[in-house]
C-alpha cells in the first residue's frame, strides 16, 4: 500500500512563456488556417469511426492528427511489449497524440484532461485512467487500477513528472505509479519525447486552443520519441529507486530539443 500524505499531489512547473524563444519559421497564413479546418474535419470523422474500431483506428487517428498539423513523428528504440508501464517526460498535450500514435496504450492523465476538447475524448477512448490531484487519498485506488491493467496485459502510459515542462528543463519523476509495475511484475519502459522547437511546449498561461493554433502556424515540427531498454523490477523493489532509475536511463537527451 502507498502512504499518502496530507499535501495535494499537484506538481508545479517553473517553466513559462519565457521558455519559448519565438525563433520558429511560420507557415503561410492560408496553410495554418487550412490545417485548423482539416483538423476539425478529421476529428469529426474520426470520432464516428474510432468507437467502432478502437485500437488500430485510434492509432490511425492520432497519426493523422499529427500529420494534419504538419508534424513529423520519428520513433527510435526497442519495440514496446504489451503489459509494460511506459513512462515519459512531459512537454505538451501533443505528447498524448505521440504515445497513442506509437502503440496501443491506456493513458494515465490528470482529471482536467478529460474535459479538454478532442484530446480528452481521445484519452477516454484509450481507456484513460484519470487522476484527481485534488484528492490524494484516491491515489492508491488509481495505482490499483494501473496494476490491474498491467496484469491484464495492457500497456499503460504515464507522465511521472505530473505536469509539463519546456523540454530544456525537467521535473522529478514521482514514484507512486511505479508501485503498480512492481505489484504487477511488469516491465518499466522509459521514453524520451523531444521536439525540435520550443513552440510545442504547453506551459505558462497557455490555453489548448492557443497552443493548437501556434503549432498549426509552424512551417514544420519534428517530434522524436526514443524508448530505452525495459527495466524489470524485482518484487521487493523500491518505487522511489525505480523512478530515479527510469529517469536516469533517459539520459540528457530526454530533455533537449531535437536538433
* Domain housing 89: 25-255
**Do the Cβ atoms of 231 and 122 come closer than 8 Å?**
no
248 within a domain of the structure (yes/no): yes
Q: What is the CATH number of the domain that holds 88?
A: 3.40.1130
SS3 state at 117: coil
Give the burial class of 36: count Cβ atoms within 10 A of its Cβ; 0-12 exposed, 13-18 middle, 19 or more buried.
middle
Position 253 scores a pLDDT of 45
Position 255 scores a pLDDT of 39
The answer for residues whose C-beta is within 8 angstroms of residue 142's C-beta and 6 or more apart is: 108, 129, 131, 177
How many structural domains does the chain have?
1
For the segment 111-153, what is each residue's pLDDT rounded down to a tens digit? 888 878 778 888 888 888 988 877 777 789 999 999 999 999 9
**Do the Cβ atoms of 216 and 69 come closer than 8 Å?**
yes
Strands 221-227 and 188-195: what pairing?
antiparallel
125 within a domain of the structure (yes/no): yes
| pLDDT at position 6 over 90 | no
Predicted confidence band of residue 252 (pLDDT cuts 50, 70, 90): low
The answer for residues whose C-beta is within 8 angstroms of residue 1's C-beta and 6 or more apart is: 140
210 within a domain of the structure (yes/no): yes
Region 225-230: mean pLDDT is 95
The answer for residues whose C-beta is within 8 angstroms of residue 156's C-beta and 6 or more apart is: 84, 85, 86, 105, 106, 107, 108, 129, 146, 149, 150, 180
* H-run or E-run covering 31: helix 29-53
15 within a domain of the structure (yes/no): no
- Bridge partners of 176, per DSSP, are none
80 within a domain of the structure (yes/no): yes
Least confident span in 94-108, 112-126, 144-158, 193-207 = 112-126
- How far apart are the C-alpha atoms of 74 and 102, rounded to whole Å? 10
12 within a domain of the structure (yes/no): no
Give me the percent of the chain exceeding a pLDDT of 70.
Answer: 90
Instruction: Return the number of other C-beta atoms located less than 10 Å from residue 72's C-beta.
Output: 12
- Mean of the per-residue pLDDT values of the chain: 87
SS3 state at 195: strand
Predicted confidence band of residue 259 (pLDDT cuts 50, 70, 90): very low
Predicted confidence band of residue 180 (pLDDT cuts 50, 70, 90): very high
**Do the Cβ atoms of 164 and 91 come closer than 8 Å?**
yes
Position 126 scores a pLDDT of 81
216 within a domain of the structure (yes/no): yes
19 within a domain of the structure (yes/no): no
Position 13 scores a pLDDT of 76
The answer for residues whose C-beta is within 8 angstroms of residue 54's C-beta and 6 or more apart is: 125
Angle, CA of 125, 106 and 83, to the nearest 5°: 145
**Grid cell listed for 42:** 478529421
Q: Using alpha carbons, select from 135, 92, 87, 137 the residue that is nearest to residue 107.
A: 87
Amino acid at each position: 500500500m502507498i502512504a499518502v500524505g496530507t499535501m495535494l499531489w499537484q506538481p508545479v512547473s517553473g517553466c513559462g512563456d519565457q521558455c519559448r524563444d519565438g525563433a520558429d519559421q511560420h507557415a503561410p497564413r492560408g496553410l495554418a488556417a487550412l490545417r485548423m479546418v482539416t483538423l476539425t474535419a478529421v476529428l469529426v470523422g474520426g470520432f464516428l469511426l474510432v468507437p467502432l474500431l478502437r485500437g488500430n483506428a485510434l492509432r490511425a487517428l492520432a497519426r493523422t492528427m499529427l500529420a494534419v498539423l504538419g508534424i513529423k513523428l520519428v520513433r527510435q528504440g526497442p519495440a514496446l511489449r504489451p503489459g509494460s508501464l511506459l513512462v515519459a517526460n512531459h512537454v505538451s498535450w501533443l505528447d498524448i497524440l505521440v504515445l497513442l500514435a506509437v502503440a496501443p496504450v491506456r493513458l494515465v492523465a490528470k482529471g482536467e484532461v478529460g474535459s479538454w476538447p478532442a484530446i480528452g475524448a481521445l484519452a477516454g477512448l484509450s481507456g484513460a485512467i484519470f487522476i484527481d490531484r485534488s484528492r490524494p487519498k484516491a491515489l492508491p485506488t488509481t495505482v490499483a487500477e494501473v496494476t490491474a491493467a498491467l496484469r491484464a496485459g495492457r500497456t499503460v502510459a504515464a507522465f511521472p513528472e505530473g505536469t509539463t515542462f519546456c523540454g530544456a528543463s525537467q521535473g522529478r519523476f514521482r514514484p507512486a505509479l511505479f508501485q503498480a509495475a512492481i505489484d504487477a511484475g511488469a516491465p518499466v519502459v522509459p521514453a524520451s519525447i523531444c521536439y525540435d522547437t520550443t513552440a510545442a511546449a504547453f506551459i505558462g498561461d497557455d490555453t489548448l486552443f492557443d497552443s493548437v493554433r501556434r503549432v498549426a502556424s509552424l512551417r514544420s515540427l519534428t517530434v522524436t520519441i526514443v524508448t530505452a531498454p525495459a527495466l524489470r523490477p524485482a518484487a521487493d523493489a523500491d518505487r522511489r529507486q525505480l523512478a530515479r532509475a527510469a529517469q536516469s536511463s533517459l539520459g540528457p537527451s530526454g530533455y533537449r530539443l531535437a536538433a
